Chain A
């Protein structure tokens, strides 16, 4: 069926200049982390009583979860709905999700005031709390993701490390359950993240505050899954000098026409139904951010991928994918940071240098570990250009 060979380690040169830059960001992030843990949140961040959530929640947690959606959406397509031709992208998407969620958990650990108490929600439950539901799902899902990843590591080292091989065999046996469970858990906490802000109607700007927030977060997560795969495959194949996998990505993007279309329809329909379009042109930062999010991040890329020309061209498809990813990033930033406008606030929140460094350091670490994994583990199926001729 598939023209693709089995996934295998790329075994390409590791220490490129790009990797060195990543290491620099990682080190800088490490220093900023030390500032946070030695000096406390007040020393390292610009958080205030009016703005208790900042960059770390907006980007590291909320955006991280959204962009890891490729994991469950490709798994659903290839393993549940029988789209076997897309199997080649499930492993890199799974790796991205596993790394992404790991750093979501680390991000939460860094952000909460009492990191040493992070285990407490497992024993003290509050069933009315949307955050409790999100936390339980993210925790379980993170476990599921790494269990799904174990067989991949076992393929490489399973014979050398007996325990790994054993775990790999067990995980393979229950893989069906893990895959379905992963999709269900994703539905739960992706929508839950949107539900977080429902309790603050006076604080979230009306352009984003709607009872449909959980649905919009779910729909946007579902629709960003494949664009994220297109985006990261574009970056990875370029950087690792591999074939572009356009034979998979092109057809994959056709689903996005429908999925992103549904998200767009619900989002715009909700806006007109509630009449909040009156805010669109009032020139505030919130309105402009909304216009940018929806115009550049949803409508434009949707129109782009309607055209078969876009879906055949590597550059155009990458651009469309990047725009969609950017649109979802901006959506999460808007809901948690820019659109968060408490009535009493003397000055708006802007992240501190240390907050930015920590976030940049985490992103660099994720990219670094991704590169480590694809270099030594059978994750990518794309062949290097020289070999494939």
Chain B
């Protein structure tokens, strides 16, 4: 099912380009030129959960039920939620070491900070927006809680504070926006003891990722997750095993907002379509009304 579905999706991307050729070509990416990002090296991550702890501290998140030092949690396939912007999960994709023990692969999950984020395109008030420094930023003061961002996100990242009654927020990795503005690294990248998270310009990170794959092809699969997914993301991953074995979602290569924004723009630029429809219908109505009046007048005269 998943494979066929992917085939349909890629077909769709092509048909969106070919079929709706006009509008699709007119669509322009609003992605920043060379934003900041992070490269997560899954071959290096040891699953110490220090990034989770740092994230929790830096962002003043609620204290979790289980201590960050409890590594049993790695085997519960967690998702970022209203209490945690990032989580680390452990997978055993089947590779074994010299002693025939399964080798674990640890996966840190957080907002990918898309270059053309679906959430920001969808957001009714623009509470979510892509900043020049690369962050997908959430401004709670504009948010009405419609949760369209959560519908839109292909990585299923934004979570909601459903348990709060009056002031629930959308919760997702901030890419430590404020720290970045101060010239600091994001909390997780700073704390990582094995340098599994490299922080820097996206172009530099892509270069680095390619170099690692080239220099050690036995250690990495030839795929940088986030280079093309959803049109490219600020966060990137390299991995020792194929990503679909590690709970990564198979996201198509085209930017998510492209189709809806193309159609939207084709119909609504200068409001030409609504205005034309109004003019046409009003013309028909006036014509019919005049005809009726004339008929009524003749009827009266007879």
Contact = CB atoms under 8 A, between A and B. Distances in A.
A41 B8 contact: no
Nearest to B129: A126
B57 interface: no
B260 A176 contact: no
B284 A81 contact: yes
Interface string B271-296: 00010011001101110110110000
Given A40-B168, A344-B156, A82 B4 contact: no
B246 interface: no
A131 B148 contact: yes
Interface string A12-56: 000000000000000000000000011111110101111011000
Contact of A41 (B158, B168, B250, B252): B168
A183 B274 CA distance: 10
A303 B86 CA distance: 55
A42 B145 CA distance: 13
B125 to A, nearest CB: 4
A211 B263 contact: yes
A193 B176 CA distance: 35
A200 B152 contact: yes
Interface string B46-77: 00000000000000000000000000000000
Nearest to B230: A202
A203 B5 CA distance: 11
A32 to B, nearest CB: 15
Q: Which of A82, A177, A202, A340 has the most CB of B within 10 A?
A: A202
Nearest to A129: B124
Contact of A114 (B16, B168, B249, B277): B168
A112 B146 contact: yes
A202 B142 contact: no
B251 A126 contact: no
A231 interface: no
Contacts of B124: 121, 126, 129, 131-132, 135
B151 to A, nearest CB: 6
B154 interface: yes
Q: How large is the interface on A (under 10, 10 to 19, 20 to 34, 35 or more residues)?
A: 35 or more
Given A81-B288, A121-B124, A114 B167 contact: yes
A201 B147 CA distance: 17
A274 B11 CA distance: 8
A82 B145 contact: no
Given A41-B162, A131-B148, A124 B259 contact: no
Interface residues of B, number: 71
A248 to B, nearest CB: 19
Contacts of A274: 8, 11-12, 15
Contacts of B168: 40-41, 113-114
B79 A125 contact: no
B156 A343 contact: yes
Contacts of B126: 124-126, 129
A124 B142 contact: yes
B275 to A, nearest CB: 9
Given A120-B125, A209-B12, A199 B263 contact: no
A198 B296 CA distance: 49
B177 to A, nearest CB: 19
B122 A131 contact: yes
A40 B163 CA distance: 6
B268 interface: yes
B213 interface: no
A76 interface: yes
Contact of A117 (B144, B162, B257): B144
B127 interface: yes
Nearest to B140: A114
Tell which of B19, B158, B250, B263 has the most Cβ of chain A within 10 Å.
B263
Interface string B1-41: 10011001101100110011000000000000000000000
A179 interface: yes
Contact of B121 (A38, A129, A343): A129
A360 interface: no
B118 interface: yes
20 contacts: A42-B164, A48-B162, A52-B150, A53-B151, A80-B285, A81-B284, A82-B288, A113-B147, A115-B145, A120-B125, A121-B144, A129-B122, A129-B148, A180-B285, A184-B281, A196-B151, A198-B263, A201-B12, A202-B249, A211-B16
Interface of B: 1, 4-5, 8-9, 11-12, 15-16, 19-20, 79, 81-82, 118, 120-127, 142-148, 150-152, 154, 156, 158-168, 247, 249-252, 256-257, 259-261, 263-264, 268, 274, 277-278, 281-282, 284-286, 288-289, 291-292
Q: Ordered nearest first, which 4 A-B pairs have the shortest CB separation?
A: A113-B145, A42-B162, A124-B125, A52-B147
Interface of A: 37-43, 45, 47-50, 52-53, 76, 79-82, 84, 108, 111-118, 120-121, 124-126, 128-133, 135, 176-177, 179-181, 183-184, 187-188, 195-203, 206, 209, 211, 214, 274-276, 278, 282, 340, 342-344
